[in-house]
Chain A
Amino acid sequence: MQLIEHPSSMRFADKTIVKPKPIAASLAVATCALLGAVSPLAQANPDTADEWKFDTAILYYGETDRVSLVEGVVSATKDFGDEHIFNGKVTFDGLTGASATGAVPQDTVQTFSRPSGNGGYAVAAGETPLDDTFKDSRVQLNAQWTQPLATDLRGSTGVHVSKEYDYLSLGVNGSLARDFNQKNTTLSLGLSYQFDSIDPVGGTPERLGSTSVLNSVSDYDLYDDYLDANGSGNADFDAHASQYESREGAQDKDTIDVLFGLTQIINRRTIMQLNYGMSVSDGYLNDPYKLVSVVNNQGTVQDTLFESRPDSRTKHNVYWQTKYAMDSGVVDLSYRFARDDWDIQSHTLESRLRYNLSDNSYIQPHVRYYQQSAAEFYQPFLLSDQPLPTYASADYRLGDMDAYTVGVKYGQKLDNGDAWAVRVEYYQQNPKNAGFAEPGQLAELELYPSIKALIVQFNYQF
């Protein structure tokens, strides 16, 4: 625009350029769009909509003396314009280490066969039995497509595939979100279906079937030594191996999830979300590697059985989240209440507090508290003088427990628009006795050891 003012016209305003022209520039762009002309300003601000955005992370999770996990994620998002958004995510993880089997510790050495049926391992006196054969890697692919369907209505649909050595999970999901009240209120409804198939190493064990524990070999620290000394032709062991051959193969389960969501903008600084979710699983819900010890009134193990869980589970949960924008950061507070027909109830309280250290860096402490009550069939051990129940699991994850996480994250935005962040967290689980009397030697042993884990994660966004 060029314009020369006529000297005889009106009083001239001061034409000093004070600030960049936010409105004038925006209006120029808007009016040029209207007139079908290309505004030079529109060219100067290339739309970033058609670029892929990558969000990557690598996470280390390590428990003291137990499992450690390394997980990598690459998430790629592209906006194809008009809010047609694709997200693809690849997750890899590698797990190694030992996991609690559910069997009780003893004041003598215990030996267990490996899940594969080949070989065994011994557990020292007083130690919680851990299965150290956990070594698995997993790949997961997710794809999600989101787009507007009509005014104020969005649809989203996605699929996932996850594969690990003995496990396959396939899922599809779809959801609709409708905005109301000038997009201040959003109602959403989501449905997902998941099919899981597990092909346990060594076949699917019989429910509450005996693992044929080779009883305490207190002369040997490790069962492997025992094998070395006796050769594999051990009759006891061969009988055991043949039992494995008769086991069933792959098992599967179906899970349907329904999720209702209400998101409400409260005011300029506050947004709130309330979700109700229901999840119904049918099929094989056991963990084929979990065991239950049968003890006599002295607390001495008589037998070790494979666990048995019901073959259906219906879970309900309510999740509430609020985010509040401070001048210098964000407060994020959430609470979840969940219960299911296994009689598990849980409360989860979580908070993240983002504090901006500068325009392009922040620090974010994180705390989480979780508490759950035991499943009705949870039993830390079975008593040999009692009849066998239909369902029993000694998996501490189904018992009374509380857990907390404390952590901190630091993030920085780089001049080129990329961003990185690192977080370090400490997670501790404290299983509790859900009111079970501990006969004999068990009273002296640690049946509910705490699990302590360190989480370190590095993110990079570009």
Chain B
Amino acid sequence: MKKIFKLALVAITVSQAVGCASLGVQPWERDLLAKDEMSLNAEGVDLGLDDHIYFSKEATSGGRAFAGGGCGCN
């Protein structure tokens, strides 16, 4: 039994090292996050078009992705 406690201690240390134990979900709790519209890259084409418009009309670009616009519009 002593061995178990020792191992438990090791496991606790490891799980703390990994950190953020309270954040996150178990694999079977990903039902909602797995939806297409919850993906951070959902509507990628729209986001790309918006990036292009704002890149050419405003002084700031990037943030969500690389700042480069690939066009001579700015």
Q: Are B70 and A268 in contact (CB under 8 A)?
A: no
What separation, in Å, do the CA atoms of A350 and B8 have in the docked complex?
Answer: 46
Known contacts A268-B29, A338-B60, A459-B46; decide if A325 and B35 are in contact (CB<8 Å): yes
What separation, in Å, do the CA atoms of A362 and B43 have in the docked complex?
Answer: 13
What separation, in Å, do the CA atoms of A330 and B32 have in the docked complex?
Answer: 10
Residue ID in chain A nearest B19 by CB atoms: A181
Name B's interface SS: loop
Does A198 make an interface contact (CB < 8 A)? yes
Residues of A within 8 A of B68 (CB): 169, 171, 192, 194, 255, 257, 279
Q: Are B74 and A397 in contact (CB under 8 A)?
A: yes
Residues of A within 8 A of B61 (CB): 279, 315
- Per a CB cutoff under 8 Å, which of A73, A185, A317 touches B62? A317
- Give the Cβ gap from B19 to chain A, nearest Cβ, in Å: 7
- Give the Cβ gap from B16 to chain A, nearest Cβ, in Å: 12
- Supplied contacts A166-B72, A184-B23, 5 more A-B pairs, CB within 8 Å: A71-B49, A181-B23, A275-B64, A277-B67, A375-B59
What separation, in Å, do the CA atoms of A255 and B38 have in the docked complex?
Answer: 32
Q: Are A264 and B23 in contact (CB under 8 A)?
A: yes
Q: Are A257 and B46 in contact (CB under 8 A)?
A: no
Does A124 make an interface contact (CB < 8 A)? no
Known contacts A269-B32, A403-B57, A457-B49; decide if A336 and B63 are in contact (CB<8 Å): yes
What separation, in Å, do the CA atoms of A169 and B56 have in the docked complex?
Answer: 15
CB-based A-B contact count at 8 angstroms: 177
User: Which B residues contact A (CB, under 8 angstroms)?
Assistant: 18-21, 23-27, 29-33, 35, 37-38, 40, 44-46, 48-49, 52-54, 57-74
Chain A positions 356 through 388: 1 when the CB is less than 8 Å from some CB of chain B, otherwise 0? 000000100000001010010000000000000
Residue ID in chain A nearest B63 by CB atoms: A319
Q: Are B32 and A268 in contact (CB under 8 A)?
A: yes
Q: Are B64 and A334 in contact (CB under 8 A)?
A: yes
What separation, in Å, do the CA atoms of A456 and B50 have in the docked complex?
Answer: 12
What separation, in Å, do the CA atoms of A1 and B54 have in the docked complex?
Answer: 61
- Give the Cβ gap from A386 to chain B, nearest Cβ, in Å: 24
Q: Are A265 and B70 in contact (CB under 8 A)?
A: no
Residues of B within 8 A of A334 (CB): 64
What separation, in Å, do the CA atoms of A362 and B40 have in the docked complex?
Answer: 18
Q: Are B58 and A184 in contact (CB under 8 A)?
A: no
What separation, in Å, do the CA atoms of A256 and B43 have in the docked complex?
Answer: 26
Residue ID in chain A nearest B21 by CB atoms: A181
Does A429 make an interface contact (CB < 8 A)? yes
Q: Are B24 and A325 in contact (CB under 8 A)?
A: no
Does A433 make an interface contact (CB < 8 A)? no
**401-428 of chain A: CB within 8 A of chain B:** 401, 403, 409, 423, 427
